[in-house]
Amino acid sequence: MDYERMNKFRLLGLTIAYYRKLRGMTQAELAEATQLSRTHISNIEAPNGKTSISLNKLFDIAEVLDVPMKDLFDFRER
């Protein structure tokens, strides 16, 4: 995976973490609500992680966080 793609995964994970914390949710709560493991959520949010995520699960995360899907890809400084 090239650097640019890895950076987008990193930014996506950081954005998910941002909205999760904004909603006052723990990784365990998000994991339970999306039927993922807490470890998988942690790996998605990890800034140095290389974990990918299915589009289906990304829709689930956006729904649980009550965030439009497009906002998860609005990579800005947080």
Q: Over its length of 78 residues, how does the chain's per-residue pLDDT go in tens digits?
A: 688 888 888 899 999 999 999 999 999 999 999 999 999 999 999 988 778 889 999 999 999 999 999 999 988 755
The domains of the chain, with CATH numbers, are 3-73 (1.10.260.40)
The whole-angstrom separation of Cα 36 and Cα 19 is 17
Instruction: Copy the structure tokens of residue 23.
Output: 């909603």
Residue labelled with tokens 């995520």: 53
Instruction: Copy the structure tokens of residue 47.
Output: 């800034």
- Is residue 21 a contact partner of residue 65, using CB atoms and an 8 Å limit? no
Other CB atoms closer than 10 Å to residue 72's CB: what's the count?
Answer: 20
